[in-house]
Structure 1
Amino acid sequence: MKIVIIGAGEVGYHIAKALHHSNDIIIIDQSEEACHRADELDVQVIQGNGANVSILSKTLDNADLLAAVTGSDEVNIVACMASKLVAKDKERLKTVARVSNPDYIDKPVAKRTKIGIDTMICPELTLASEIAEILSIPYAIGAEYFAEGKVEMMEFAVSDSSELVGKELQELNLANCCIVSALFRDSDVIIPHGKDTIQKNDHIVVIGKPASIKEVRDMFGEKTGKRSKVMIIGGGIVGFYLARVISNGEFDIKVIEADRERSEHIAEELHGVLVLNGDGTDINLLKEEGVADMDVVIAVTNSDEKNLLCALLAKHLGGKKVIARADRSDYVSLFEMVGVDSAVSPRQATVSEILKLTFGKGIESVTTIEGEKAEIIEYTTSRKSKIVGKPLKNVKFPPGAIVSMVVHKGNTVVPRGEYVIEEGDRVVVFALQSVHNEVESLFK
């Protein structure tokens, strides 16, 4: 594919890095420093304004995808609109805009085809929704939905004191519509079998029907019957949206925001949420506001370094679970290495959505987990798919991949060896990135 990426920052660079081996990539950015970094990749780099019609006219010939991912919503929107106007083949060109302002978008992913934007992504709203999903589960560190909500993925961390340590996976007695798809142990990724034994600090990926996942949550949960206490440090887009999403749930919420005007705005908008105007790195403030009694502390300011400091302070002062936002991808593993329970990145939402558009027909969604060690991919099968019409045990599936779930005519099932996948089924596959191409070939 020919892909034009506007913005060579953290998001744009990682999209180019993931795609440049097998695609024709052009990156446009005004920053000389960003362009120099992008030059390290085997891509064409143009220094300039990505919304400039003259530049777009020269670069969009035969382009399949334009991804506008600068830090400016307006530049991204204008670039997509202009691209649709100047592109010779408007049907062929797909446009994606990264947008953060809630005035433009009110949900994580939206379509705005009438104004020339095929997909509009708000990474901050996506991130807030993900955090909200895992908040009330003490050992949950990740959550995603597939097949329009019919399939759920949860990633859990096994604590030292967990009753699951030493048990074989087959002893979990999971519901029929639920399966353990992977174990992450240290730096290893394990495609599990029933005889595999759970060890402390393992990360377990469970995929299943949402109703069945609730039973799994109980295995990792703490049934106290009390309202969970949540402290959110940072009242920006992520913090505000997160507080709004969970304000109707079983949570006692405190928000700490450094800007006084922003604090007043949040307090006016969110009734029942205690808003404190202060610095989240102030140890005395954290102590006074009972951080030691918090079930979850979430640091989601616009500074990675401040988020790390806030999270570690909260952990040191007795917070049970700490979550920190990390915009820089290389910080995610570092945060978790030094004691943060879960590091989350808004960048990944944009990258995943764009990767979905480039991997090929039939792919509905792509989610990378554990620092991009593995993927969960949702396919819709076609009549030509090699996986269709034969028992799964007769399909030459590569090692390092497993069919986790199938949604057939609205029904969610865990497929066994005798199961035959049909045309139009939604198939959720767990796979190591190294075997992605082999898996994709089965669905073409």
Structure 2
Amino acid sequence: MNNAIGNSMYVVIAGAGHVGAHIAEALLEQGHSVAVIESDMKRFENIEAMDVLAIHGNAASPKNLADAGINSANMLVAVTGSDETNIIACVIGKSKGCKTIARLRSPDYLREGVGTGNLDVFGMDLVVSPDVVTANHISRSLLLPSLVESGELSEGQSLIIELRLSEGNPTLRRMLGSIQLPPGAIICSVSRNGQLLLPERVGPLELGDRIILVLDSRMLVANVETAFGVTKGGGTAVGGRLETGIDKIVIVGATKTGIQVAKKLENEKAMIVMDTNTERCQHARDVLEKAIVIHGDATDSALFIDEGLGDASVLVATTKNTDFNMLSCLLAKKRGVTRTMAIVDEPELKLLFEQIGVDMAVSPRMMTVDFILQNILGKQISSTQTTLHGSGITVLEVLVKDTLWMVGKEFGNIKFPRGAFVGSVIRGGKAIKPTRFDTIMPGDRIIMMAPQDSLHKVEKLFSYHSGTWRFR
């Protein structure tokens, strides 16, 4: 059995739902071999059309796992709809020497407050809870009030952020070059009306522009906010009045994700949790210490006014009903709430939600896919789990190993796929903007920006010649 992860891995995936199918597709495009076990006939037929070894049956069956090649596999990824099936599959996989990753939804199997880690007792090297991964992303965005999106780079040491210019912002109509940024803050690009512009081609800043920056320290966020006319409290001058930043947050839905967000922030923000279900409300009251829990419908205009929710800074809709989440956000906007976020069931709806007025839409499925892929492929190719609003651009962080074929070459001599470009480079812990004459060096973390149709070409450009995959 070969468990060393080199140029090509053999990965067994248990479950061919949205998450399993996307992971299989991504691994195939990276040149890895994949087997998939699926019990549902329709999903099985869909996965059969891919270049995988498809096994129809229960993923917890030792025979099915053996037929899938578990004895020679490098890794098992268990993402069926059953936590118990995922656990059993991992126990069997671990006994065969595989690295194991499992998606678990039930809090009964997760340590308090932990949804990403390992559970050695069940033979799992990595456990991912979609609710916790999603809650972490939402909480991080809420703690950076002026930002539309944010994501960690350089294993948490650096940050990529997207900042939107609203009405009355003092930097409107100014040139980017006139804005004094702190050292360590690099402007990668500007998204304008769905088009991504290089900094040198932006011209005067316009209403709605989204500035995409890389910061070599989270501590620089406040300085960047100040540079772009955002107050220390996160507010921006709008039409002569001051928006006060994030003070009150309304969570619609006492779901696992909603409660996780409230738990993380209730000691720092005024948190209100709303739900139409009496039992869920009582559970929220039992587990939350400071948050206010309201039994009611967020779309009820009278209740919204009576509870004074119109002055909330943010409303986050986390229910399992995507349509209700959208309606809650749109009505909240009309009632005075400054910013809205919504969880969407189908990843394809994310862009639609943002186009019709929801400030940020989050897909737990795609966040789970991204998180698992990062941990399968390590940090050579890793996505920040952020698709930049309106532009369909994905940010990739590429760790340059000394075996990479482009080491020693100048950036200007590398033919990047159409639409993809280097936003910045993190070198020695510092963010820099490379010129076409700068040389690519081992240890560089290249921050690539690529549209969806060029994403896999970028990954292949960096991965096929290096042989540096590792399991984190």
Shorter-chain TM band: 0.7 to 0.9
1: distance between equivalents of 2:379 and 2:325?
Answer: 39
Number of the residue aligned with 1:222:
235
Alignment deviations for residues 190-213 of structure 1 (CA, whole Å, 9 cap, x no partner): 343375443333332211121222
Larger CA deviation: 290-299 vs 149-158:
149-158
SS in 2 for 1:11: helix
Partner of 1:12: 20
Tell me the residue number matched to 1:231: 250
Distance 1:264 1:20, change over 3 A: same
Code of the aligned partner of 1:325:
I
Q: Could you tell me which of 207, 215, 220 is aligned with 2:214?
A: 207
2:74 alignment partner in structure 1 = 64
Deviates more, 1:206-215 or 1:94-103: 94-103
Partner of 2:333, secondary structure, is helix
Q: Is 1:122 aligned with 2:145?
A: no
1:284-303 counterparts in 2 under 5 A?
284-303=302-321
Aligned partners of 1:164, 1:41: CA distance in 2, in Å?
Answer: 50
Q: Does 1:141 align with 2:145?
A: no
Q: How far has the Cα of 1:387 moved from its partner?
A: 4.7
How much does 1:282 deviate? 3.0
Corresponding residue to 1:435 among 445, 450, 458: 458
C-alpha separation in 2, matches of 1:441 and 1:45: 25
Counterpart Cα distance in 2 of 1:55 and 1:324: 39
C-alpha contact 2:189 2:423 (8 A) present in aligned 1:
no
> Could you tell me which of 78, 99, 107 is aligned with 2:104?
99
Unaligned runs of 5+ in 1: none
- In 2, Cα distance between the equivalents of 1:137 and 1:271? 23
- After superposition, the Cα gap between the structure-2 partners of 1:364 and 1:328, relative to the gap in structure 1 and judged at 3 Å, is closer
Counterparts of 2:387 and 2:330 in 1: how far apart (Å)? Answer: 23
Match of 1:376 in 2: 395
* Alignment CA distance shift 1:132-1:63 (3 Å): same
| Bigger mean CA offset, 131-140 vs 333-342 | 131-140
Matches within 5 A, 1:58-207: 58-61=67-70, 62-85=72-95, 87=96, 90=97, 93-103=98-108, 104-105=110-111, 106-113=113-120, 115-193=122-200, 196-207=203-214
Q: Does the 8 A contact of 2:188 with 2:212 survive in 1?
A: yes
Matched, 1:405 2:414: no
TM-score (norm 2): 0.82
Residue 332 of structure 1 aligns with which residue?
350
Structure 2 unmatched ranges of 5 or more: 1-8, 237-242, 468-472
Question: Aligned partners of 1:176 and 1:424: how far apart in 2?
Answer: 21
Counterpart among 247, 272, 277 of residue 266 in structure 2: 247
Task: Decide whether the 8 Å contact of 2:186 with 2:431 is kept in 1.
Answer: no
Residue 402 of structure 1, CA deviation = 0.9
User: Do the aligned partners of 2:152 and 2:384 also contact (CA within 8 Å) in 1?
Assistant: no
Q: For this pair of structures, how many residues does the alignment match? A: 436
Q: Which moved more, 1:52-61 or 1:181-190?
A: 181-190
Structure 2 letter corresponding to 1:320: T
Identity level (%): 29
Partners of 1:172 and 1:443 lie apart in 2 by 39
User: For 1:317 and 1:323, how far apart are their aligned partners in 2?
Assistant: 15
Structure 1 length as normaliser, TM-score? Answer: 0.86
Q: CA-to-partner distance for each residue in 1:242-289, whole Å, 9 max, x for gaps?
A: 00111111x211101233222222213222211012233333322322
- Do residues 317 (structure 1) and 335 (structure 2) align? yes
**SS of alignment partner, residue 91 of structure 2:** helix
The Cα RMSD (Å) is 3.0
Residues in 1 aligned to 2:166 and 2:246: alpha-carbon distance in whole angstroms: 22
Pick closer, same or farther for the CA change 1:94–1:374 going to 2, 3 Å. Answer: farther
